[in-house]
């Protein structure tokens, strides 16, 4: 461990929850693989591995259980905290939940991402049980961060004075071919599921497959559950029969001696109620150990999956999803790396030591950061979004994403430019995936005039998104080309898209600035799903950021004349915009009659009014508008739009916070002038915009105000009402929320210029003793600085991983 990976700081930054936080969910799974979650009671839930979201989907008979024999006492329990809350199901809790079996009294959780630790306690029980679950996460290694599977390591400590025989058993339902539930909580499946015992050196488990189901079918896949302990018994298939025969036979078998028998045959006569006779293919794997008094033993399990076939932008929660006959099937990228779940299992177990070591090093680096623990938790939430069903990769590795996830479908297709403008996490952690998205936007979704579709639909749907171009999305894409180039120094990428970058920027000037004065004033579609008219600083600040980014790239490409032209346009335009829109406190919209067009904001204080300046700060472009006005405007945004409490806030729009919570609203009219129909989301609270404003506050030196916003977000997402790892907007795991990564960039004063092999830091807090995680396209690691007794600051950059580690 590097001397800067500080155990005390790691412990301080570790967030803790309990089963009382009933909204808590820990996602397990890689980038583009789907997920299974663990809730606050240590229960497996939200089975989202079938190439689409599935919040609240619980596959029956999928759980872990414990058997113990201490002295004369035998106990068998489900490894979960006892359920709490409302219980009002019409048919009671179905047998597949096994609610009637004994459980533990409480569960506590600690997070050091990607590691989640669950500690289970039962009063009077002499065994202490903990679970550590993780999927490997290694910055700049998208393949090893995209493994469809996870490890679950149970640790059992024996506090009794006698030896304890202990068995832990993992059970999994074969849901291959799953299509729906019937009215009695039974799975309906295509094909013929089949479970097969598998074993190789040091591993034993079950491969879940399906016969009579075409390998090209979207529901086809494989799963595998296995243990690497020495003493493992396997029940590949529970007893078949009506009602809950299999569960009864399994529990009687397991609680007898903690081992599993393969003999599940019965000669008893069946029932005449045929409706109950739906085959349930369930399998179990048990690992058994003897634990001396005062000692601890590990019980290590792995679960992997491989569902290779997906539709493109399906299911789309905004469209009819019933007819898929016209849709092309695409391969998942991970299924081109590993042929089935057994192949994934082999890789995950053989590479385990390296994957664990590098994942642990990342966690230690992130949690050693000397920033507030709420900053760290916001960064973790951002990472979770990119490993949710929001994001996916097709067979050739190209990256695509929804805006977010509905419960059982995607939300808003097409790696939407005006939403992904805000996201920063992916660019810093896996820049090659952002480069993939930029290449799609410029090389596939931009027409010969330079108009860019803001939803990437050509490849996966076979047709262009037929709508107005988005002003903010198109201009932001140019800034993000510059960001990706500065993070990676990838000249091939820049040269590949450069011609289209020029085309897109020139189109933007002609299309939205008809009179050529450097100020956009035509109809401007934007991220609020409406059009602004007249002059506004949101889209114009994006223009000036794009012009400066474009000019810098033009300089590098040898197009000096073009660079001079763009800088002159920016200088002329930002001066005029400042004159036209500055009202002494902030930039407002200039429009003759605010009610002539629907959905404007006029004299309102828009939280996004300087979004282009925030992007410019992150990318090292400097000030694109007068510094003193920028700072005062950001102060005004906080003053007028932040609410400690929403008790007196009036909104008929969507609500992402309750009245007893706080947040930053999108717009306010403190001096009047609210339009009759203001833009449609004006009274809402979006974490993505809260984060971008907080980041901007940091850049302007307003750190207490920034922290107030961050802490307000974390209080809303504290596990009680909402999961800390699922920030909502138009869907779960909303992409805009990945703006949170900008907090780290801003607070560390991180500047990156990989084309010139330069990075630097200028911390805004804890300057006398500062440590932070950093990453770019070549390496990731930690930066540390401290002040010596004589007042001198010494610093060191310590690379810990990456494809091209260098000591800066």
Residues 583-626 have pLDDT tens digits of 999 999 999 999 999 999 999 999 999 999 999 999 999 999 99
Could you give the CA distance from residue 598 to residue 586 in angstroms, rounded to a whole number? Answer: 22
Residue 545 falls within a domain, yes or no?
yes
Could you give the CA distance from residue 550 to residue 533 in angstroms, rounded to a whole number? Answer: 25
Q: Kindly state the average pLDDT of the residues 233-261.
A: 95
Could you give the CA distance from residue 299 to residue 762 in angstroms, rounded to a whole number? Answer: 45
DSSP 600: B
In this predicted structure, the answer to whether residue 326 has a pLDDT above a threshold of 90 is no
pLDDT for 337-360, tens place per residue? 999 999 999 999 999 999 999 999
Residue 578 falls within a domain, yes or no?
yes
Residue 394 falls within a domain, yes or no?
no
Band the pLDDT of 274: cuts 50, 70, 90. low
- Domain boundary residue, one of 254, 289, 304: 304
DSSP 139: T
> Residue 695 sits in a domain of what CATH number?
1.50.10.10
Question: What pLDDT was estimated at residue 268?
Answer: 79
Question: What pLDDT was estimated at residue 278?
Answer: 65
**Are residues 298 and 433 both part of a single domain?**
no
pLDDT for 702-717, tens place per residue? 999 999 999 999 999 9
Residue 324 falls within a domain, yes or no?
no
Could you give the CA distance from residue 407 to residue 56 in angstroms, rounded to a whole number? Answer: 8
Could you give the CA distance from residue 54 to residue 25 in angstroms, rounded to a whole number? Answer: 13
Percentage of residues of the chain with pLDDT beyond 70: 98
pTM equals: 0.97
Q: Kindly state the average pLDDT of the residues 51-76.
A: 97
Q: Which domain holds residue 509?
A: 413-748
Q: Return all residues near 398 (Cβ < 8 A) that are at least 6 apart.
A: 436, 440, 459
Q: Return all residues near 616 (Cβ < 8 A) that are at least 6 apart.
A: 479, 541, 544, 545, 548, 549, 622, 623, 624
Band the pLDDT of 559: cuts 50, 70, 90. very high
CB 9 within 8 A of CB 1: no
- Domain boundary residue, one of 242, 274, 304: 304
**Are residues 430 and 284 both part of a single domain?**
no
Residue 592 falls within a domain, yes or no?
yes
Question: What pLDDT was estimated at residue 266?
Answer: 78
> Residue 253 sits in a domain of what CATH number?
2.70.98
In this predicted structure, the answer to whether residue 808 has a pLDDT above a threshold of 90 is no
Could you give the CA distance from residue 441 to residue 414 in angstroms, rounded to a whole number? Answer: 10
Q: Kindly state the average pLDDT of the residues 402-421.
A: 98
In this predicted structure, the answer to whether residue 270 has a pLDDT above a threshold of 90 is no
What is the residue-wise DSSP string for 358-378? Answer: HHHHHHHHHHT--S-HHHHHH
Q: Kindly state the average pLDDT of the residues 519-537.
A: 98
**Are residues 294 and 433 both part of a single domain?**
no
What rounded mean pLDDT belongs to the chain? Answer: 96
**Are residues 567 and 712 both part of a single domain?**
yes
pLDDT for 440-462, tens place per residue? 999 999 999 999 999 999 999 99
- Domain boundary residue, one of 748, 767, 796: 748
E strands, 398-482, are 399-401, 404-405, 410-411
Residue 627 falls within a domain, yes or no?
yes
CA of residue 144 relative to chain centroid, distance = 16
**Are residues 279 and 417 both part of a single domain?**
no
How many domains is the chain partitioned into structurally?
2
Residue 404 falls within a domain, yes or no?
no
Residue 526 falls within a domain, yes or no?
yes
Question: What pLDDT was estimated at residue 234?
Answer: 99
Band the pLDDT of 757: cuts 50, 70, 90. very high
Angle among Cα 694, 696, 700 to the nearest 5 degrees reads 115
**3-state SS class at 314:** coil
Q: Kindly state the average pLDDT of the residues 393-408.
A: 98
Question: What pLDDT was estimated at residue 104?
Answer: 99
Percentage of residues of the chain with pLDDT beyond 90: 92
Question: What pLDDT was estimated at residue 96?
Answer: 92
């Amino acid at each position: 461990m590097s001397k800067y990976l500080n155990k005390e700081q790691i412990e301080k930054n570790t967030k803790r929850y309990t089963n009382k936080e009933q909204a808590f969910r820990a996602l397990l799974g890689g980038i583009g693989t789907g997920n299974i979650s663990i809730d606050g009671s240590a229960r497996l839930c939200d089975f989202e591995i079938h190439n689409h979201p599935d919040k609240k989907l619980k596959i029956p008979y999928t759980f872990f259980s414990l058997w113990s024999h201490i002295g004369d006492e035998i106990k068998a329990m489900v490894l979960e905290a006892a359920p709490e809350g409302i219980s009002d199901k019409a048919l009671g809790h179905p047998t597949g939940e096994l609610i009637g079996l004994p459980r533990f009294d409480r569960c506590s959780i600690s997070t050091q991402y990607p590691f989640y630790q669950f500690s289970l306690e039962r009063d009077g029980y002499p065994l202490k049980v903990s679970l550590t679950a993780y999927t490997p996460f290694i910055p700049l290694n998208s393949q090893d961060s995209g493994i469809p599977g996870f490890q679950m390591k149970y640790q059992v400590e024996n506090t009794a004075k006698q030896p304890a025989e202990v068995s832990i058993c993992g059970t999994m339902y074969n849901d291959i071919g799953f299509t729906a539930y019937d009215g009695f909580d039974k799975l309906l499946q295509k094909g013929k599921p089949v479970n097969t015992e598998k074993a190789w050196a040091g591993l034993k488990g079950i491969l879940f497959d399906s016969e009579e189901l075409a390998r090209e079918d979207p529901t086809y896949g494989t799963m595998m559950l296995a243990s690497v302990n020495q003493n493992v018994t396997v029940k590949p298939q529970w007893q078949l029969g009506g009602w809950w025969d299999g569960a009864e036979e399994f529990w009687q078998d397991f609680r007898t001696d903690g081992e599993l028998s393969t003999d599940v045959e019965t000669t008893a006569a069946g029932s005449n109620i045929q409706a109950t006779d739906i085959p349930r293919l369930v399998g179990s794997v048990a690992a058994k150990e003897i634990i001396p008094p005062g000692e601890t033993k590990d019980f290590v399990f792995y679960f992997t999956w491989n569902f290779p076939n997906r539709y493109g932008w399906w299911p789309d929660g905004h469209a009819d999803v019933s007819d898929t006959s016209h849709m092309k099937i695409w391969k998942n990228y991970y299924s081109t790396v590993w042929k089935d779940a057994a192949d994934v299992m082999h890789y995950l177990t053989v590479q385990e030591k390296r994957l664990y070591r590098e994942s642990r090093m990342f966690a230690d680096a992130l949690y050693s950061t000397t920033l507030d623990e709420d900053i760290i938790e916001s960064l973790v939430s951002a990472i979770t979004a990119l490993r949710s069903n929001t994001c996916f990769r097709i067979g050739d590795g190209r990256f695509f994403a929804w805006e977010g996830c509905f419960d059982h479908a995607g939300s808003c297709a097409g790696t939407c430019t005006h939403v992904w403008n805000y996201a920063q996490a992916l660019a810093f952690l896996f820049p090659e995936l952002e480069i993939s998205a930029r290449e799609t936007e410029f090389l596939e979704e931009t027409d010969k005039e330079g108009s860019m579709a803001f939803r990437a639909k050509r490849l996966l749907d076979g047709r262009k998104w037929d709508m107005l171009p988005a002003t903010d999305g198109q201009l932001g894409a140019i800034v993000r080309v510059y960001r990706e180039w500065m993070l990676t120094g990838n000249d091939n990428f820049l040269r590949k898209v450069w011609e289209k970058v020029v085309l897109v920027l020139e189109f933007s000037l002609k299309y939205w600035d008809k009179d050529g004065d450097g100020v956009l004033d035509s109809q401007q579609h934007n991220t609020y799903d409406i059009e602004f008219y007249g002059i506004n600083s949101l889209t114009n600040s994006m223009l000036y950021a794009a012009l400066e980014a474009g000019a810098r790239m033009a300089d590098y490409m040898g197009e000096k004349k073009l660079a001079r032209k763009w800088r002159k346009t920016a200088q002329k335009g930002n001066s005029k915009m400042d004159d036209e829109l500055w009202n002494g406190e902030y930039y407002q919209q200039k429009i003759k009659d605010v009610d002539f067009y629907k959905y404007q904001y006029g004299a309102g204080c828009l939280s996004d009014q300087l979004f282009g300046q925030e992007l410019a700060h992150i990318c090292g472009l400097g000030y694109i508008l007068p510094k003193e006005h920028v700072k005062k405007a950001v102060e005004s945004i906080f003053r007028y739009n932040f609410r400690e409490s929403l008790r007196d806030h009036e909104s008929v729009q969507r609500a992402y916070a309750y009245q007893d919570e706080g947040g930053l609203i999108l717009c306010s009219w403190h001096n009047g002038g609210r339009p009759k129909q203001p833009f449609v989301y004006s009274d809402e609270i979006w974490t993505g915009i809260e984060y971008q404003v907080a980041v901007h506050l940091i850049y302007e030196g307003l750190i207490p105000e920034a922290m107030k916003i961050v802490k307000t977000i974390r209080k809303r997402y504290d596990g009680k009402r909402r999961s800390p790892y699922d920030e909502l907007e138009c869907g779960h795991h909303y992409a805009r929320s990945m703006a949170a990564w900008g907090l780290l960039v801003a607070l560390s004063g991180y500047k990156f210029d990989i084309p010139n092999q330069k990075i630097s830091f200028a911390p805004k807090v804890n300057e006398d003793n500062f440590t932070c995680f950093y990453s770019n396209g070549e390496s990731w690691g930690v930066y540390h600085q401290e002040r010596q007794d004589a007042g001198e600051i010494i610093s060191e950059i310590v690379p810990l991983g990456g494809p091209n580690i260098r000591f800066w």
